[in-house]
């Protein structure tokens, strides 16, 4: 995002849930909202939110299908998805987590719980990005070092031969001769 604020995509077919979640998160995060899975997929690809809060039960494409589609695309596969749903049974939670959800919150949700879980996911993403950047910088430093070492070796031998030949041609005593 250009503003520097982290963003959250809220996906729920019930307007009141979007309003409640926006009230909880809107002070700290830029909020995008979608009322169905198709719109959620489009927003996720074009806006690249930092976290997605996704309802399970929606018309047309349910939350599990949306999650599967998100995880199947390179542009959205690494976005953490937290299910926020009225479906409160262990099998549904296990299904969501097995498909790649980062967390599972049941309604009625507690506002601070939602806020802290979103913060934790964003912190985890930030840490992963920093680790990747650090690894990339280290790989670059190692590549530069190998390049300089190779170039130094490749240039040193011919240059020594040229300098030696010039010194011999000039009759210099600076060249060490082996007997």
pLDDT digits (tens, 9 = 90+) for 28-70: 999 999 999 999 999 999 999 999 999 999 989 999 999 999 9
pLDDT for 119 equals 94
Residue 52 located in a structural domain: yes
Most confident listed range (89-93, 151-155, 175-179): 89-93
- The structure tokens listed for 167 are 């010194």
* pLDDT over 90 at 73, yes or no: yes
Residue 148 located in a structural domain: no
**Chain position carrying tokens 């070796």:** 153
| d(C-alpha 50, C-alpha 32), whole Å | 11
Mean pLDDT rounded to a whole number for the chain: 88
Q: In this structure, what CATH number is given to the domain that contains residue 24?
A: 3.40.50.2300
* pLDDT over 70 at 176, yes or no: no
Range of the domain at 20: 7-131
Residue 179 located in a structural domain: no
pTM of the model: 0.72
Residue 58 located in a structural domain: yes
Q: Which DSSP helix (H) or strand (E) runs through 9?
A: strand 7-11
């Amino acid at each position: 995002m250009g503003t520097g604020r982290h963003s959250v995509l809220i996906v729920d077919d019930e307007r009141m849930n979007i309003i409640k979640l926006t009230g909880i998160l809107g002070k700290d995060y830029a909020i995008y909202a979608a009322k169905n899975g198709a719109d959620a997929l489009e927003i996720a690809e074009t806006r690249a939110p930092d976290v997605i809060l996704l309802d399970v039960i929606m018309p047309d494409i349910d939350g599990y299908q949306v999650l599967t589609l998100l995880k199947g695309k390179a542009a959205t596969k690494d976005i953490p998805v937290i299910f926020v749903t009225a479906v409160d049974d262990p099998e549904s939670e296990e299904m969501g987590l097995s498909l790649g959800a980062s967390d599972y919150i049941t309604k009625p949700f507690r506002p601070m719980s939602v806020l802290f879980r979103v913060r934790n996911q964003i912190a985890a993403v930030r840490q992963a990005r920093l680790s990747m950047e650090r690894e990339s910088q280290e790989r670059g430093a190692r590549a530069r070092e190998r390049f300089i070492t190779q170039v130094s070796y490749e240039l040193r031998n011919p240059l020594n031969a040229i300098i030696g030949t010039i010194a011999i041609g000039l009759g210099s005593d600076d060249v060490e001769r082996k007997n």
